[in-house]
C-alpha cells in the first residue's frame, strides 16, 4: 500500500460531536460489526455490498454511507480483504488507547493503595486493600471508558481516513495499470 501525503488525507466529518460518514471517509459501523463477526468466524464474507465503500446494501440500490447508487458503482458480493484489515486496524488502534488508559488508572489506584498501606495504622490497612480492589476497578473504567473513549474513537477514525485514502489510491493505481 502506498503512502500519501498527510495534506491529502481527508478529515473525518463531525456534526454535533457525532461522526458523519462521507464519501471521503466512508466508515460504516454496520460494516465494522460485520467484519468483526467474519474475523471471529461467526459469519461468512458473502452478501451485497456497495462497490465503492463496501457498506452492506441489503436489498437497497442506494448506499447511505457514501451516497452512491448501484447504477453508478455496481455492488460487490464480498468485502475486500485489505479493507477488512483497515477496519480491524481501526479497532486495534481504539483498543490500544482504551486499554492503556485503563491500565494507567489501575496502576494509579495501586500506587495510591500502597501509599495508604504505608501510611494507615494497624487494622485500618484493610481500607487500603478495599481501595485497591474497588479503586482499581473504578479507576480503570473511568480512565478507559470515560476519559479516553471519545479520543480513541476519533484517533481510530483519523487512522481509518488515512488508510482508506491509501487503499483507494492503490486501487485507482491498479485500475490505471491494467
Burial 34-68 (b: 16+ CB within 10 A, else e): bbeebeeeeeebebebbebbbbbbeeeeebebbeb
How far apart CA 168 and CA 65 sit, in angstroms, is 16
Q: Please, which pLDDT band fits residue 154 given cuts at 50, 70 and 90?
A: very high
How far apart CA 12 and CA 157 sit, in angstroms, is 7
HEC letters along the chain? CCCCCHHHCCCCEEECCEEECCCCCCCCHHHHHHHHHHHCCCCCCCCCECCCCCCECCCCCECCCCCCECCCCCCECCCCHHHHHHHHHHHHHHHHHHHHHHHHHHHHHHHHHHHHHHHCCHHHHHHHHHHHHHHHHHHHHHHHHHHCHHHHHHHHHHHHHHHHHHHHHHHHHHHHHC
- How many structural domains are present in the chain? 1
Residue 1 lies in a domain: no
Residue 16 lies in a domain: yes
pLDDT in the model for residue 2: 54
Residue 18 lies in a domain: yes
pLDDT in the model for residue 114: 93
Residue 77 lies in a domain: yes
pLDDT in the model for residue 9: 80
Residue 95 lies in a domain: yes
Residue 78 lies in a domain: yes
Condensed to tens digits (0 to 9), the pLDDT of residues 108-142 reads 999 999 999 999 999 988 999 998 999 999 999 99
Examine the pLDDT at 173 and tell me if it is beyond 60: yes
Residue 116 lies in a domain: yes
Of 177, 178, 173, 175, the residue nearest 4 (C-alpha): 173
Condensed to tens digits (0 to 9), the pLDDT of residues 31-88 reads 999 999 999 999 999 999 999 999 999 888 999 999 999 999 999 999 999 999 999 9
Domain range for 89: 6-177
Residue 29 lies in a domain: yes
Amino acid at each position: 500500500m502506498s503512502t500519501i501525503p498527510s495534506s491529502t488525507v481527508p478529515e473525518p466529518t463531525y456534526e454535533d460531536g457525532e461522526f458523519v460518514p462521507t464519501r471521503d471517509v466512508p466508515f460504516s459501523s454496520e460494516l465494522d460489526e460485520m467484519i468483526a463477526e467474519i474475523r471471529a468466524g461467526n459469519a461468512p464474507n458473502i452478501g451485497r455490498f456497495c462497490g465503492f465503500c463496501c457498506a452492506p446494501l441489503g436489498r437497497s440500490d442506494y448506499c447511505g454511507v457514501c451516497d452512491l447508487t448501484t447504477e453508478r458503482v455496481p455492488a460487490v458480493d464480498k468485502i475486500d480483504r485489505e479493507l477488512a484489515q483497515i477496519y480491524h486496524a481501526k479497532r486495534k488502534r481504539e483498543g490500544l488507547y482504551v486499554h492503556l488508559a485503563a491500565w494507567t488508572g489501575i496502576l494509579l489506584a495501586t500506587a495510591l493503595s500502597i501509599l495508604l498501606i504505608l501510611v494507615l495504622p494497624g487494622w485500618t490497612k484493610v481500607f487500603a486493600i478495599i481501595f485497591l480492589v474497588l479503586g482499581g476497578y473504578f479507576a480503570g473504567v473511568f480512565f478507559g471508558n470515560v476519559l479516553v473513549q471519545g479520543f480513541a474513537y476519533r484517533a481510530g477514525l483519523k487512522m481509518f481516513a488515512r488508510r482508506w485514502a491509501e487503499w483507494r489510491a492503490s486501487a485507482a493505481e491498479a485500475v490505471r495499470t491494467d
